[in-house]
Amino acid sequence: MVTPYNAWFRSWGYPRLDLNIYDDGEWEIIEYLRSPVVPALTPWHRVLMDIRNTEINPWFCKKYVENLDVEKQHVWDELDRNEERHRQALYAEELHATDFAERAFKAIKQNPELMERIAKNGLGEIDLFKLSKHIPNQRFRKAPKKTTGGIVLS
């Protein structure tokens, strides 16, 4: 029932693991759910599947089996590191939102005309499109360049 590759897994301390190899070159790592292994009676499930275009070698199998073993400390350390990174990203996002809200409040507070428009027309006046309507056009226009016969004078 077991393949010759089962000897690799036994030497690494995983006697219930084995390889399942298909005719098209695809292979997968499987785990037998009961011991002893009896052909056609022992249930199994896939641990790592759909491996294609990869040579079957012990280093590849060992790397993935050890990374999937939840009883090893390094797996839990990696999960803790990922959780900490996620927690820091959420904290940074929260700080950014708070900072953005404070700067928006200061910008509104320092612009009495905008405060009057908000009091009169509602919070829709904070929309960027409506804000752009109240900015004088000369702030966006550049002075036209003077040209004389192909020579640009500024």
**pLDDT per residue of the chain (154 residues) written in tens, 0 to 9:** 788 999 999 999 999 999 999 999 899 999 999 888 887 888 999 999 999 999 999 999 999 998 888 787 887 888 899 999 999 999 999 999 999 989 888 888 888 888 888 889 888 888 878 887 877 777 666 666 665 655 655 5
* pTM of the complete model: 0.51
Residue 44 CB partners (closer than 8 Å, separation 6+): 18, 20, 30, 31, 32, 33
Preceding amide of 136 cis, omega within 30:
no
Residue 83 backbone phi and psi in degrees, to 5 = -65, -40
- Token duo for residue 5: 């590759």
Terminal CA-CA length for the chain: 86
SS3 category, 26: coil
